[in-house]
Amino acid sequence: MRLARAHGCAIGACLLLLVAGATRANPEPPALDVDEAAPGVFVHMGKLLPLDAPGHDDIANIGFVVGSRCIAVIDTGGSPRIGRALRAAVKKHSTLPICYVIDTHVHVDHVLGNIAFKDDKPEFVGHAALAEAINRSRSYFLEHYAGDFDAPPNANQIVAPDKLVATTLQLDLGGRRLELRAWPKAHTDCDLTVLVQDAGVLWTGDLLFRERVPALDGSAKGWLAAIDELARTKVKIIVPGHGPIARDSASAWLPERNYLQTLIDGVREEIAAGKSIEDAMSHVGAAEKANWKLWDSANARNVSRVYQELEWE
């Protein structure tokens, strides 16, 4: 089912091949722009766009780490196309094999590019809860992000992890180690961070949003606890899931921490005063609005989530 063979076949057979192996029939897109944040640590900066804007498959920070033996890709973008563009960037910088594809969590903008690396036969690595989270999300992705799949969209393009991390895991890329850590429910129920030990680079996934308003899909209290622990980790470079790279741990985490604390405090007050979830959604967090971009895309939903979490504490 390779592209070369598809060229030579009869039209009917070609159509069959297109249906069966859509990804093979898609041309290689140009390589993504990547910055070398530290030696051998490459990051593509996602765009600051709403989830329904054109180009929304390219909003997350994704990239790869090159060792002396092989390469680990960290997050793969919001479409097979972005995944292929990331793979093209990997091939531009190194001829070493890709041995790991690490997913930091279940969200579509981080995992839908996995399929582009399937033929490299890497181990797909994720949080112990990621496989189930992907199962749960298949129909959601297909229904809401159909246009981001290769045509025709089908669930086989969603690749789940085969190597699961329950607590921590060390991966050896040859000459450098990655330390993976699985977190209790925070941004989602399957957040994983990656520490490039020798370079002091912490890849946070969406446990850290900078500039773009954070989106809560897990537990606000769990997220705060994760932030407090991560902010104490001594690192030189922090690669957030969204927004610019940071170099100072204390200041990098502070805005997000303040935002989540504001929501928690605000919602607790509303609940104590007997206010409805609707009241809370209409104004909690307002004081933080000036600090974030794409505010309306996430704040009211976050407040709703926090309210539903805290009304049972």
Partner 1 sequence: MQSRRRSWFWPVTRFVEFARCARLHRALIALALAAGFAATPAPALEESNSPPTGAWEFLRTQFYGDREIGVVDEEFMRLDAPANTPDPAATPLTLHFGKGAVGNIKQVRLIIDNNPLPLASTIDLGKDVPVDEIDLRVRVDRFTSARAIAETNDGRLEMRSAWIKASGGCSAPPSAADGGTMGEIRFRPSPDAKSLQVSIRHPNHSGFQIDPKTGDAIPPHYVSHMRLSSNGKTLVDVDSGISLSENPTLRIVSDQPFAAPLTLDAEDSKQGHYSATWTGAAAAGQPTAADGTH
Least Å distance between CB 85 and partner 1? 28
Least Å distance between CB 259 and partner 1? 16
Positions in 213-242 near partner 1 (CB under 8 A): 218-220, 222
Cα 58 to Cα 32: distance, rounded to the nearest angstrom = 10
- Residue 233 tokens read as 């980790």
**Is 252 a binder of partner 1 (CB under 8 A)?**
no
Cα 293 to Cα 207: distance, rounded to the nearest angstrom = 17
Smaller CB distance to partner 1: residue 63 or 161?
Answer: 161
Least Å distance between CB 297 and partner 1? 9
Smaller CB distance to partner 1: residue 104 or 299?
Answer: 299
Half-sphere exposure of 193 (CA within 13 A, CB side): 27
**Is 274 a binder of partner 1 (CB under 8 A)?**
yes
Site string for partner 1, 178-197 (x = CB under 8 A): -------x------------
**Is 309 a binder of partner 1 (CB under 8 A)?**
yes
Number of helices (H), then strands (E), in the chain:
9, 12
DSSP states of 8-41 as a string?
HS-HHHHHHHHHHTGGGGSPPPPPPP-EEEETTE
Say which residues have a Cβ less than 8 Å from residue 104's Cβ, sequence separation at least 6: 74, 75, 110, 191, 192, 193, 194, 203, 204, 205, 206, 241
Question: Smallest Cα–Cα separation from 68: which of 171, 179, 175?
Answer: 175
Least Å distance between CB 110 and partner 1? 17
**Is 162 a binder of partner 1 (CB under 8 A)?**
no
**Is 109 a binder of partner 1 (CB under 8 A)?**
no
Cα 272 to Cα 270: distance, rounded to the nearest angstrom = 5
Least Å distance between CB 161 and partner 1? 13
**Is 56 a binder of partner 1 (CB under 8 A)?**
no
- The residue count for binding partner 1 (CB under 8 A) is 32
**Is 281 a binder of partner 1 (CB under 8 A)?**
yes
Smaller CB distance to partner 1: residue 40 or 218?
Answer: 218
Positions in 115-144 near partner 1 (CB under 8 A): 132-133, 135-136, 138-140, 143-144
Least Å distance between CB 8 and partner 1? 38
Q: Please report, for residues 9, 24, 89, 252, the alpha-carbon distance to residue 248 in angstroms, rounded to integers and kept in the order given.
A: 57, 43, 28, 6
Encoded amino acid at 69, one letter: R
Least Å distance between CB 192 and partner 1? 17
Q: Which stretch binds partner 1 (CB under 8 A): 30-38, 170-178, 193-201, 294-302?
A: 294-302
Kindly report the three-state secondary structure assignment for every residue of 242-298.
Answer: ECCCECCHHHHHHHHHHHHHHHHHHHHHHHHCCCCHHHHHHHCCHHHHHHCECHHHC
Binding site for partner 1 (CB under 8 A): 132-133, 135-136, 138-140, 143-144, 185, 218-220, 222, 271-278, 281, 298, 300-301, 304-305, 308-309, 311-312
